[in-house]
Structure 1
C-alpha cells in the first residue's frame, strides 16, 4: 500500500529541511493535536495518537538534502515514511511525504483512511514551518 501526501512548498532551503527531518525529535512539531505521547530515543521516536497503539519510527535511510526515510522499528508491520525534498531555490523547497506499507488486504482497508488523514495532517504542519 502506498499513500502519497500532497506536495507543499516550504520557505526553507533543502539543507534546512533535510536537517529538520534527520533530527527525529522535530517530528513532534508536525504531529496532530490528538498526540498523547511522544518520546525520542536516539535515532527513533515513539508516538501514540488518541485511540491508536504506540508506534516507534526509526531513521532508516537518508540521501543528503533530498530524502529522509523513517521505518517501523518492529518487523510485524513493515512500513516506511519518506520525506522527499525538492529544491526550488536557496530559500524554498517542495516536500512530499510518502508512506509505503506491506499489509494484507483486510489490514490495508482498516488503516488506509486513518493513515491518509495522518499524512495529510503532517503535510499541513510541514507547510507551516
Structure 2
C-alpha cells in the first residue's frame, strides 16, 4: 500500500527542514491533536499513539543529506516506512512530500487506509506551521 501526501511548502530551507525532521523529538510538534502519547525512546526512535489506535514505534532508518529521510516501524508486525522527500524551491523555502509504504493484507489495508491518509496529511499540513 502506498499513500502520498500533497506537496507542502515550508518556510525553511531544504537543509533547515532536513535537520528539523532528523531531530525526531520535533515530530511531537507535527502530530495530530488527537495524539494520546508521544515519547522519545532514543535519539533515533519515538513512540506515539492516536486516540483509539495502538501505539506505533517509529525509528529513523535512513537519510540522504538534505533531500530524503526514512522512518520505519520498529516492529516487524506492521512493516512500513514513512519517507519525507525535501526539495528546495526558493530562497528560504522548501517543499516536502510524505510517502507511506507498507505491506498489509487486504483487510488490514482497508482498515488503515483512511486513518493513515489523514495522519500523513496532518503531518504534512503541520509542517507549514513550523518556524
In which range does the TM-score fall when normalised by the shorter chain? over 0.9
TM score, norm. by length of structure 2: 0.96
Aligned residue for 1:83?
Answer: 84
Alpha-carbon separation, structure 1, partners of 2:93 and 2:121:
20
Q: 1:7-38 CA distances to partner (integer Å, 9 max, x unpaired)?
A: 01111001100000100010000000100110
Q: 1:82-120 CA distances to partner (integer Å, 9 max, x unpaired)?
A: 110001133110001100000011100110001101111
- How many residue pairs get aligned? The number is 129
Q: What secondary structure is seen at the aligned counterpart in 1 of 2:76?
A: coil
TM score, norm. by length of structure 1: 0.98
Aligned residue for 1:8?
Answer: 8
Runs of 4+ residues over 3 Å off in structure 1: none
| Aligned ranges 1:22-37 → 2 under 5 Å | 22-37=22-37
Aligned residue for 2:111?
Answer: 110
